[in-house]
Amino acid sequence: MTQALVLFSGGQDSTTCLAFALARFNHVETIGFDYGQRHRIELDQRGRIREQIKTIDPLWAQRLGDDHLIDLGVLGQISATAMTRDVAITIEANGLPNTFVPGRNLVFLAFAAAVAYRRGLQHIVGGMCETDFSGYPDCRDATIKAMQTALNLGMEAKFSLETPLMWLDKAATWTLAEELGGPALVDLILEETHTCYLGERGMRHEWGYGCGTCPACTLRARGWAKYRAEAATKTGRPA
Ligand code: ZN
């Protein structure tokens, strides 16, 4: 019996991670964090995605267990960043985008491990990715490996922190989704996942909903275009 906890925000990456876990583990629970993020709308999408992903494969429906939504409002209080405040997204003097909430993923992983410990879940799956590096040092592979060591020491546990997207670019993440759940999963991710930092869902682009100009939308649009172009090359059909 293999059991996993997926860090599930309702975005493209974490939904792909959820499918990855459902394809691999016998029992899968999800965890999300409300920290006063401006793109809080993604939290509303979580329930919809969890319901719809069950329709893709009957086995996935069997395997999907509880959801845990954790209130981390305190993280919004201590971080004055563009992720939690209504200010323009820019690159700061230290080279990091001002959407960076310092140590956010470390906090998430610590809370996820505490829940996993209580629930008896050994695998913790997250969508951290180093390839399309957005300047978040807490997404680096070395950071995650160090965190795994710290959590296992600090909780006397044997957690395995798994980051299936670590070395994939956004186009490859779409390809992984297609391999895991076929066109139905690609459609679900396209329609229901939320990525835009500004929480904009009014406008439907060919890559999904978003403002179209923030760094998260730009990355998603570029990844979708590359994925479609690669698919067209493979099949010989136009994108
Ligand atoms: Zn956007």
Q: How far apart are CA 27 and CA 66, in angstroms?
A: 10
For the question of whether the overall pTM of this predicted structure is more than 0.85, the answer is: yes
Q: Which of 113, 115, 105 is nearest to 143 (CA)?
A: 105
- Ligand 1 centre distance from Cα of residue 54 (Å): 28
Beta bridge partners of 31: 7, 68
Mean pLDDT of 192-204: 87
The encoded tokens of residue 143 equal 């950071």
Residue 79 lies in a domain: yes
Q: Tell me: the pLDDT tens digits for 76-132?
A: 777 666 555 666 666 666 666 566 677 889 999 999 999 999 999 999 999 999 886
Residue 149 lies in a domain: yes
- Ligand 1 centre distance from Cα of residue 126 (Å): 22
How many structural domains are present in the chain? 1
Instruction: Indicate whether 157 pLDDT > 60.
Output: yes
Residue 119 lies in a domain: yes
- Ligand 1 centre distance from Cα of residue 219 (Å): 10
Q: What is the CATH number of the domain that holds 95?
A: 3.40.50.620
Q: Is the Cβ–Cβ distance between 165 and 17 less than 8 Å?
A: yes
Residue 88 lies in a domain: yes
- Ligand 1 centre distance from Cα of residue 41 (Å): 12
Q: How far apart are CA 88 and CA 50, in angstroms?
A: 32
Residue 165 lies in a domain: yes
* Parent domain of 121: 3-195
Kindly indicate the confidence band of residue 9, based on its pLDDT and cuts at 50, 70 and 90. Answer: very high
Residue 229 lies in a domain: no
- Block residue for tokens 């140590």: 103
Higher pLDDT, 92 or 224: 224
How far are the Cα atoms of 100, 200, 238 from residue 86, in angstroms, in the given order? 14, 13, 40
Residue 20 lies in a domain: yes
Alpha-carbon dihedral angle through residues 162, 208, 217, 237, given to the nearest 10 degrees: 90
Instruction: State how beta strands 204-205 and 208-209 pair.
Output: antiparallel
Residue 227 lies in a domain: no
- Ligand 1 centre distance from Cα of residue 129 (Å): 19
Q: How far apart are CA 70 and CA 73, in angstroms?
A: 9
Kindly report the backbone phi and psi dihedral angles of residue 107, in degrees, each rounded to the nearest multiple of 5, phi listed first: -65, -45
